Structure 1
Amino acid sequence: MERVDVIDEIPSNVYSYKRYQGRPFHLITPGNVRDQLQLFSEFQCREDDVILCTFPKSGSHWVYNTVQMLRSGKLTYSGTPLVADFEDLELISRMETPRTFLTHLTFPLIPTDVKKGVPKVIFVSRNPKDVLVSYFHFIDNMINTAFEGDFNFFMKFFLSEEFFSSGASWCTYMKEWTNGTIRFPEMRILSLRYEDFKKDTFGCIVKLAEFLEVKRSVTFLGEVEKNITFEHLKKGHARIRGESDRWSVVDKHGRVPIYRKGKIGDWKNMFTVAQNDYFNAIYKEKMEGYDIVFEYE
């Protein structure tokens, strides 16, 4: 593992990350990265585990709280899930059954048990332009983020293979997950798009309940829909339930700033015409051969 520090021609534009086996990882990844990845690769999953697998800023907390309500039968805000990438994995091992936790790691780095179909996986994707904008504001609202710079610099960083969130850039992440689900058909996986969850929330709640094999009344599912609105979850996150000692490294209150707008198409409020052309050109080049369809508005 080595630490990499990148400085732009504009000195105020800088970012840093840990590089291990050619892959980028955030500086808060524990230790030498290698040990955390090894432990997670060998992590013993249970058949009733649910692992949320998402690239950051793709709706993980939204879906996590939905899953928790469906599994528990309670309309309670559950806060921030344990993120296997950054946690002491013993914390997850000691969780009571049924466990629900999150990883942002790209497909080659997930547990072997996942590829064998032991736990259930919920994979959530979001159009990359909104991911980029949401991520920029997310980082801008935190401390010790390992990134400082303007939006134009962040876009170049986001589209590069040095982007540090999950061991892969967004493009590589999507390609590796697409390839992985084909290579390991025994996986028990439900794939959802953020945009579909936004436009047909109740329909996606029904899909989740069926996938989780929980029987809930239509009335209860309707109450879940009311309790997972963006505004409702944002209020829940602003209370003590949204705080965690783990995240005091990025926020003095230990509350990760995950709720901002939650809208589809917010990228149009940030991208210039030149930036959109640049993004589209890089995206077309990197995603050649992958027909992954997203809604951008």
Structure 2
Amino acid sequence: MAEAEAEAEAEADPKEENESSYQRYKILISSLPKEEGWASENYFCHYQGFWYPDILCPGVFAVQDHFKARSSDIIIATTPKSGTTWIKALLFAAVNRGMYPPTYNHHPLLSENPQLLVPFLELRLYKSKIIPDFDILPDIETLPSPRLFGTHIPFTSLPQSMIDSGSRIVYLYRNPKDVFVSMWHFNNKMRAAVSKPPLSAMEAFDRFCKGVSQFGPFWDHVLVYWRASLERLQQVLFIKYEELQADPGGVLKRVAHFVGFPFTSEEEKEQGLVDKILRLCSFENLSSLEVNKTGKHSSGLGYEAFFRKGKVGDWANYLTSEMIERIDQITEEKFHGHGLKFC
């Protein structure tokens, strides 16, 4: 009888656990410092040194409290607007090439957006909307290995199980000037979707430079992953968006090897799998697919918003000389002494 009662207590009611978590998170959010948000959120909350949209906070807390990592997990980490969609597509295609050859007529990438195939932990799996009776604790234990997940959570705030398990983390970073321009455009599309007036470039730029942006400060986010990549060479791979643009095949092979799915000589030279994956996942191909032209994200925003330009150096078309000087100065000050340079 005692054993049965102990087992019953151990098996917590999912609904009760969900409600308990929701109430705790609601109290925590109310206690955090806040700043005005950029897009559809009401405000940003300052938590563990970074700014989070209020609607995403419960998802972040739930990941920290409940996510149980496996050593076989593959995590794609980025700041927003750093090439996340592209690297998700490339890794999904590389890891699953045995089951879904890149020329397969029914390849998942032809009918599903990469954001669905490699879901964000805090945005999609651990649901993040602040409304009662909303399930924020998913059942992902049944997913087969290797599990591919995305996250914008800074390294210093990742769940401890992810660090201890040895899950492989691929971090993609991008020049802050291009990140800002892409972020500004994307957030204005989100504002338009909820009938909010656009945020001016100068207002958005001032907030970005002060660090008040989604999962910002941008520079701090990059630095914690950079340091982790130096301290945990076998667990964290740090790659540049600009390098991915310049040598996509070389970077893809390096990433695939790092996560435990290296290309064989036969796959690369005789079957041409690297080139075929690059074609499948190219900006031109993905952006032309019907699902990415007409499909909608869970936020209500069309998937086409994730395919703006994807170019290096587009910031030159938007930033004034004063803006360039300011962001370069911040970058130099933040990264001084860390051995980190932007292209």
Give structure 1 stretches of 5+ with no counterpart.
8-13
CA spacing shift, 1:240–1:263, aligned 2, 3 Å: closer
Q: Deviation per CA, 1:40-86, whole angstroms, max 9, x where unpaired?
A: 35521112211001111111111111111111112231521311122
Change (3 A) 1:65 1:91: farther
Corresponding residue number in structure 2 for 1:261: 309
**Aligned CA distance change for structure 1 residues 174 and 112 (closer, same or farther; 3 Å):** same
Task: Supply the distance in 2 between the matched residues of 1:91 and 1:139 (Cα, whole angstroms).
Answer: 31
Picking from 265, 275, 278, the partner of 2:323 is: 275
Indicate the residue corresponding to 1:230 in structure 2.
Answer: 283
CA distance in 2, matches of 1:107, 1:144: 31
Amino acid of the structure 1 residue aligned with 2:76: L
Q: Of the candidates 1, 5, 16, which is equivalent to residue 43 of structure 2?
A: 16
Alignment of 1:51-66 (within 5 A): 51-66=75-90
Please tell me whether residue 85 in structure 1 is matched to residue 112 in structure 2: no
Query: What SS does structure 2 have at the residue aligned with 1:263?
Result: coil
Alignment of 1:69-218 (within 5 A): 69-73=93-97, 74=100, 75=102, 76=107, 77=109, 78-79=112-113, 80=115, 81-89=118-126, 90=138, 92-142=140-190, 143-144=193-194, 148-163=198-213, 165-166=214-215, 168-183=216-231, 185=232, 188-214=235-261, 215=263, 217-218=267-268
Alignment pair present for 1:291 and 2:339: yes
Give the CA deviation at 1:192: 1.3
Given the alignment, which residue of 299, 323, 328 partners 1:247?
299
1:25–1:70 CA distance, 2 compared to 1 (3 A): same
The structure having more radius of gyration, on CA atoms, is 2
Q: Indicate the larger mover: 170-179 or 21-30.
A: 21-30
> 1:28 matched to which residue of 2?
55
* 1:47 and 1:119 in contact (8 A); partners too: yes
Secondary structure of the residue that 2:236 maps to in structure 1?
strand
Cα distance in 1, alignment partners of residues 274 and 257 from structure 2: 12
Q: For the structure 1 residues 260 and 240, does the alpha-carbon distance in structure 2 shift closer, same or farther, using more than 3 Å as the test?
A: closer
Deviation at 1:274, TM superposition (A): 1.4
Structure with the higher fraction of residues in helix conformation: 2
Change (3 A) 1:237 1:272: farther
Q: What is the TM-score when the length of structure 2 is the normalising length?
A: 0.72
Relative to the length of structure 1, the TM-score reads: 0.83
CA distance 1:212–1:180, change in 2 (3 Å): closer
CA pair 98-132 structure 1, distance change in 2 beyond 3 A? same
* 2-structure distance, mates of 1:118, 1:85: 20
CA RMSD of aligned residues (A): 2.8
Residue by residue over 1:137-175, the C-alpha shift from the partner in whole angstroms, topping out at 9 and shown as x without a partner, is 111112359995211111111111322x22x31011112
Q: Aligned equivalents of 2:201 and 2:225: distance in 1?
A: 27
* Paired AA for residue 88 in structure 2: Y
Counterpart position of 1:221: 274
Shift of 1:22: 5.5
Contact 2:226–2:238, Cα closer than 8 Å, also in 1: no
1:166-222 CA distance string (max 9 Å, x none): 2x3101111222233345x27512221111111101111211222233245011111
- On the 8 A contact 1:45/1:119 being kept in 2, the answer is yes
Report percent identity of matched pairs: 21
One-letter amino acid of the structure 2 residue matched with residue 100 of structure 1: L
> 1: CA distance between counterparts of 2:140 and 2:57?
15
Tell me the SS of whatever aligns to 1:123.
Answer: strand
Q: How many residue pairs are counted as aligned between the two chains?
A: 278
Amino acid at match of 1:71: V
1:191 partner SS:
strand
Q: Deviations over 1:4-43 (max 9, x none)?
A: 3549xxxxxx983233355421132154x6xx42543552
Q: CA 1:293–1:281 in structure 2 vs 1: closer, same or farther (change >3 Å)?
A: closer
- Please list every run of 5 or more consecutive structure 2 residues that lacks an aligned counterpart in the other structure: 1-28, 127-137
**SS of corresponding position for 1:274:** helix
Take 1:286 and 1:223, find their aligned partners in 2: how far apart are those partners? 39
The range that moved more, 78-87 or 174-183, is: 174-183
